[in-house]
Amino acid sequence: MKRREFITVLGGAATWPLAAWAQQSRSFRIGYLAFVPGKDSTIILQRLQELGYRQGENLEFTYRSADGRPELLNSLAAELVNTRPDALVAGFGTLPAKAAKASTSTIPIVFASVGDPVGAGLINSLNRPGGNVTGVTSEASDVVGKRLQVLDEIVPGKRTIAVLMNPDTPFSSLALRELKAAAAETAQPIQVFEARSADQVLAGVEAAAKSGAAGLLTLEDALLVSARRQIAEHAAVFFRT
């Protein structure tokens, strides 16, 4: 599911209880936890305003971002829980959703585009999430095999392809298994490089280029998506030299 489609779904999910309570003339609290800064929270806030909920009047919207530093997520989630929100929104990726779930078992949590919510332990199943957590999943791990095929057409000859990933994201681990299976079928060599924080992303791109890899494939999570422009720019430089 595309991110804008997610915003539509999340807007409905997040505002459904608000609509039900609208006649009570009270102020509602929503906490938003992001791993990296993005536009999603702004879009959600705009949608809430369209529905008649305005910051400082009948809505308290509290935003926290870890700015790409995973070690901050648990403390930021705790801060949001302390504001006693009616609902928590976990921004794009698995890590903020896991931090939100660890912080409360009672406040409703809606997560954004988690690749493998069952494998991450966020929900019991896709049909019956259970607990206080729900959200949207793309389940697109099989796409990486097709991307490997495209790279094989661009860079023929079975030269090594570098793979950049965040090993702390469950979806990336799932996607890596799919990628390795696809690579084994065609005897395509791959070499994995890891990036767990923003300062490791560009270092990973440089290391991949220095390894002699012919191309770079990324297993996106919130961290790598936020750095996609820098990754493309640096890959164009490092893989050309």
Tell whether the torsion through CA atoms of 88, 48, 113 and 35 is positive or negative. Answer: negative
Element (H, E) at 138: none
Domains 3-135 and 143-238 share a fold: yes
Residue-by-residue pLDDT tens, the chain, 241 positions: 444 444 444 555 444 454 554 445 678 999 999 988 877 788 888 888 888 888 888 999 999 999 888 899 999 999 999 999 999 999 888 889 999 999 999 999 999 878 778 877 888 887 888 899 998 776 555 577 777 777 777 777 778 889 999 988 877 887 888 888 888 888 889 999 999 888 899 999 999 988 988 888 888 787 888 788 888 888 887 776 5
DSSP state, 55? B
The CATH architecture one would assign to domain 3-135 is 3-Layer(aba) Sandwich (3.40)
User: Residue 73: which of 42, 51, 99, 102 has the closest Cα?
Assistant: 99
Alpha carbon 14 to its chain centroid, in Å, reads 18
Domain map of the chain by residue range?
Answer: 3-135, 143-238
The closest alpha carbon to 222, from 31, 6, 13, belongs to: 6
Q: List CB contacts of 226: < 8 A, sequence separation 6 or more.
A: 35, 36, 37, 38, 68, 198
pTM of the model: 0.61
CB atoms within 10 A of CB 205: 26
Residue that has been written with the tokens 């991450």 in this structure? 120
Topology adopted by domain 143-238: Rossmann fold (3.40.50)
Q: Which residues pair with 123 in a beta bridge?
A: none
Would you tell me how many other CB atoms lie within 10 Å of the CB of residue 163?
Answer: 26
Closest by alpha carbon to 29, among 70, 71, 64, 80?
80
Please state, in angstroms and as integers, the Cα–Cα distance from residue 57 to each residue in 26, 45, 49, 54, following that order: 9, 13, 11, 5
